[in-house]
Amino acid sequence: MTSAGARRSPLVAKVAVSAATYWVDRPYDYLVPREWEGCAAPGMRVRVPFGRGNRRSEGVILALRDASDRENLKTLEALLDETPLLTQEQIRLGMWMRERYFSTVYDSLRAMLPAGLWFNEAGARRVKDKYQNFASLTLPAEEAMILAGQKRRSAPQQASLLETLCAVGSVPELELRRFTGASLQSLRALERAGLVELTPREVFRRPEYRRGSPKPLPELNPSQEGVLEGLWKLAASGEAQAALLYGVTGSGKTAVYAHLIRRALDKGGGTILLVPEIALTPQMLEIFSGYFGEDVAVLHSSLSLGERCDEWKRIRSGKARVVVGTRSAVFAPVENLRLILMDEEQEESYKSENTPRYHASEVAQYRCAHSNGLLVLGSATPDITTSYSAQKGKYHCFSLRERYNAQALPEVRIVDMKRELRAGRGGSISSVLEAELRQNLDRGEQSILFLNRRGASKLIACTACGYTYQCPNCSVSLTYHSANRRLMCHHCGHSQPVDKSCPVCGGKLRYDVPGTQKVEAELRQIFPDTEILRMDADTVALSGGHDAILERFRAGGIPILLGTQMVARGLNFEDVTLVGVLSADQSLYAGDYRAAERTFSLLTQVVGRSGRGSRPGRAVIQTFTPDNQVIRQAAAQDYPAFYREELRLRRIQGTPPFSRLYAVTASGLDEAAVLRCCVAARDMLQSALAGDSAARVLGPAPLFVTRVNNRYRYRVTLCAPDAREYRRLISAVLVRCNTDKSFRGVSVFGDTDPND
């Protein structure tokens, strides 16, 4: 036994420190002051001294220990949270992400918290909690009613306040005064008299969105019922499960999601529903708020800091058990998580391009594995790797092969734009598409036109000398925007006015490769009396959001909606019977092994927006390569044929799902230094992997856009199985390249299966 006079060893906190770079990242030991030993806990943020200069840095307590194997420990300077913000499960997730995505533990944990909870440079939270005064009676309601009767003549406002409080109990002060018409002085008089007390309480800032009116869950057809029962059997098994839900466009996957969520809620479980685009969130919210009311919370980047923070707190407190959101919503602190549903799971937007560079589906798999939940990956065009996993039995597979309303898939016509040019029609709208649009206008039906290129013209060139405008900071051409008559770079934001003639030779400028602005102008010439909506990054910013444009299109019955990828997926408008794809070839030649898959998915999804109501749908695909196999398979909505052919090519290439791609990307102002760094990384990998037939090293190679904001970007890629030994090798390369003084000025980071 320890003697009464013996001094107990001080408590030690294992801390993930924000100032620790990846190559020195580890849990650092700090002494916990004795007065904090009862309140310090894992998951709390702290302020600590770090480095030789004891620079103050933020950190997160990962664990508490009774001793440390290190000497001369520094001491925690401050506890920044009253209670832990992160659970043990989230801390374990952060440690897993650190290894898998080549990030620090602190960065992984920080990604799980809403930005409003972060601290600014002054050490204060970026968003403060919102409080309102709530008014309540200090005496029984019966006595208050008697007093109200006595005051009805002498103080009618006070009487009205007392009567209202008798009926409703505690109520926000502002709502009470607004309802009764009473002044603040009357309420203060009751407070001074000891009849009413005003108590500040935290209230949640709620995002504005169109809430659906309460309604029962949709009826399911026999195919949907069969899928629902199969999925729920997995969810109710008490074991971690994953399933692919393959359903053609319009097959009713959303209705199946709704029934799964209802069953999970009835069993006391929570659900996360992920969508790939913010543009899809409003429709999903309207649908699911009608089914589940205040149980629904929303998380996406368009919310204000306060709204996002308070929605997170609603979820964490259990007041909201259904979360609808984009990629980062996968971290939502849902109690008793039973389901994670990923709609349009093939979309590349589920992959983060900032540290930590996680993929939402992998994080979702981890969370379901540790909560014994069910992950459902839903799509009409599943990711090739997902389909392969289902084929091999890693995932269960369920299919919906017919549309919910029993309508046929849209009839698709492929238009050869070379013939249009030979016929003297050089615009963006073919004769076939114009005729179809006129038919829809005569019938009073709506049309969606898709062009994945915003701006007026992608390329401006001189007809005499061939000069083109290039961004001075990036290796891309500038895009002309007719709204402000300026050339803009969509990578760095550079902007400049366009010249009246070629700045080199004075020749005439030609505007090639039309964007959405130019197509809109062309449509207005063809249909001068027709209202047209344009939806791209420019108009969304000006109109107040995706929801505003989509609601105008839906409620206003506007005949034509022209847009970029925002209109390509997830939207459901009953009156849309025609879809036009203006440049189907654009994404086919992106120089990426997934170019065919992305093109097939995009075309299939956008064609699927047509004919989702009671009337049959049509689609027109304009292309310069009408015999291209991918375009023809997308027109036929033939995913099985596309999957078989694409899988054959992937096997030959040795790309996913037959390997994992580990990327080491270097960037810097000096192109030669960047290349030297990549050569060193390649040599390290080749030396370590000598004799390993399962791995091959590619590069160095420039990225598709080599220079962005004056920084050159090159990459070395390791094609190898998904194994810890290869991730550790990549980690060693990152440490070496970031610490070698000969590569000063070069930033190097690791990634897995990058999008670019």
Compute the average pLDDT of residues 139-161.
Answer: 90
Write out the two tokens for 718: 């390791």
Query: How far, rounded to the nearest angstrom, does the alpha carbon of residue 243 sit from its chain's CA centroid?
Result: 21
Q: Which residues contact 392 (CB under 8 A, 6 or more apart)?
A: none
Please tell me the distance from the alpha carbon of residue 129 to that of residue 109, in angstroms, as a whole number: 21
Could you confirm whether domain 222-400 is CATH 3.40.50.300? yes
Higher pLDDT, 545 or 376: 376
* pLDDT above 70 coverage of the chain, percent: 96
Compute the average pLDDT of residues 218-222.
Answer: 93
Higher pLDDT, 141 or 260: 260
Where are the domains positioned within the chain?
12-112, 131-202, 222-400, 411-454+515-649, 660-752
Please list the residues that pair with 620 across neighbouring strands: 413, 580
Please list the residues that pair with 186 across neighbouring strands: none
3-state helix, strand, coil in the chain (%, to 5): 40, 25, 40
pLDDT at 751 over 60: yes
User: Which of 571, 556, 558 lies closest to 610 in space, CA to CA?
Assistant: 571
- Answer CATH for 12-112 from 3.40.1800.10, 3.40.47.10, 3.40.30.10, 3.40.1440.60: 3.40.1440.60
Q: Can you give the pLDDT at residue 458?
A: 61
Q: Can you give the pLDDT at residue 455?
A: 46
Please list the residues that pair with 43 across neighbouring strands: none
User: Counting beta carbons within 10 angstroms of the beta carbon of residue 524, is it exposed (0 to 12), middle (13 to 18) or buried (19 or more)?
Assistant: middle
- Please answer whether residues 471 and 491 qualify as being in contact, where contact means their C-beta atoms are separated by less than 8 angstroms: yes
Q: What is the CATH number of domain 660-752?
A: 3.30.70.600
Q: Which residues contact 717 (CB under 8 A, 6 or more apart)?
A: 661, 662, 663, 664, 697, 698, 699, 701
User: Which of 212, 208, 210, 228 lies closest to 220 in space, CA to CA?
Assistant: 228
- Lowest mean pLDDT, pick from 224-238, 416-430, 448-462, 554-568: 448-462
Taking all residues of the chain, what is their mean pLDDT, rounded to a whole number?
Answer: 90
Please tell me the distance from the alpha carbon of residue 302 to that of residue 566, in angstroms, as a whole number: 15
Q: Can you give the pLDDT at residue 402?
A: 87
Please tell me the distance from the alpha carbon of residue 621 to that of residue 412, in angstroms, as a whole number: 7
Q: Which tens digit of pLDDT belongs to each residue from 323-358?
A: 999 999 999 999 999 999 999 999 999 999 999 999
C-alpha dist (Å) from residue 454 to 416, 451, 536, 565, 740? 23, 8, 6, 10, 42
Q: Which tens digit of pLDDT belongs to each residue from 223-280?
A: 999 999 999 999 999 999 999 999 988 889 999 999 999 999 999 999 999 999 887 7
Q: Which residues contact 259 (CB under 8 A, 6 or more apart)?
A: 217, 220, 228
Q: What is the CATH number of domain 411-454+515-649?
A: 3.40.50.300
Q: Which tens digit of pLDDT belongs to each residue from 2-19?
A: 444 444 668 999 999 999
Please tell me the distance from the alpha carbon of residue 718 to that of residue 752, in angstroms, as a whole number: 10
Residue 652: count other Cβ atoms within 10 Å of its Cβ.
9
Q: Can you give the pLDDT at residue 6?
A: 45
Question: At which residue do the structure tokens 């292309």 appear?
Answer: 623
Compute the average pLDDT of residues 72-79.
Answer: 93
User: Which of 570, 615, 572 lies closest to 380 in space, CA to CA?
Assistant: 570
- Please answer whether residues 330 and 360 qualify as being in contact, where contact means their C-beta atoms are separated by less than 8 angstroms: yes
Phi, psi (degrees; rounded to nearest 5) at 415: -105, 125
Compute the average pLDDT of residues 176-199.
Answer: 91
Write out the two tokens for 468: 């083109």
Compute the average pLDDT of residues 384-395.
Answer: 96
Q: Which tens digit of pLDDT belongs to each residue from 597-612?
A: 999 999 998 898 888 8
Q: Can you give the pLDDT at residue 78?
A: 93
Q: Can you give the pLDDT at residue 283?
A: 81
Compute the average pLDDT of residues 574-591.
Answer: 84
Q: Which residues contact 693 (CB under 8 A, 6 or more apart)?
A: none
Q: What is the pTM of this model?
A: 0.88
Instruction: Say how many Å lie between the first and final Cα of the chain, rounded.
Output: 63
Q: Can you give the pLDDT at residue 720?
A: 96
Q: What is the CA radius of gyration of the chain?
A: 30
Q: Which residues contact 140 (CB under 8 A, 6 or more apart)?
A: none
Domains 12-112 and 660-752 fall in the same CATH topology: no
pLDDT at 716 over 90: yes
Please tell me the distance from the alpha carbon of residue 341 to that of residue 333, in angstroms, as a whole number: 15
Please tell me the distance from the alpha carbon of residue 519 to that of residue 448, in angstroms, as a whole number: 13
Query: CA angle, corner 82, sides to 79 and 87, nearest 5?
Result: 95
- Lowest mean pLDDT, pick from 113-117, 321-325, 375-379: 113-117
- Please answer whether residues 561 and 447 qualify as being in contact, where contact means their C-beta atoms are separated by less than 8 angstroms: yes
Please tell me the distance from the alpha carbon of residue 603 to that of residue 568, in angstroms, as a whole number: 8
Buried b (16+ CB within 10 A) or exposed e, 129-167: eeeeebbebeeeeeebeebbeebeeebebbbbbbbbbbe
- Lowest mean pLDDT, pick from 141-150, 302-311, 484-493: 484-493
Q: Can you give the pLDDT at residue 406?
A: 73
C-alpha dist (Å) from residue 407 to 83, 613, 626? 55, 8, 26
Q: Can you give the pLDDT at residue 728?
A: 96
Q: Can you give the pLDDT at residue 4?
A: 42
Question: At which residue do the structure tokens 């009805």 appear?
Answer: 152
Higher pLDDT, 464 or 437: 437
Please tell me the distance from the alpha carbon of residue 17 to that of residue 175, in angstroms, as a whole number: 45
User: Which of 593, 589, 596 lies closest to 629 in space, CA to CA?
Assistant: 596
Output the DSSP codes for 445-514.
Answer: -EEEEE-S--SSEEEEEETTT--B-B-SSSSSBPEEETTTTEEE-TTT--EEEPPSS-TTT---EEEEEE
Output the DSSP codes for 54-76.
Answer: TEEEEEEEEEEES--SSSS-EE-
Q: Which residues contact 233 (CB under 8 A, 6 or more apart)?
A: none
User: Which of 19, 183, 208 lies closest to 106 in space, CA to CA?
Assistant: 19
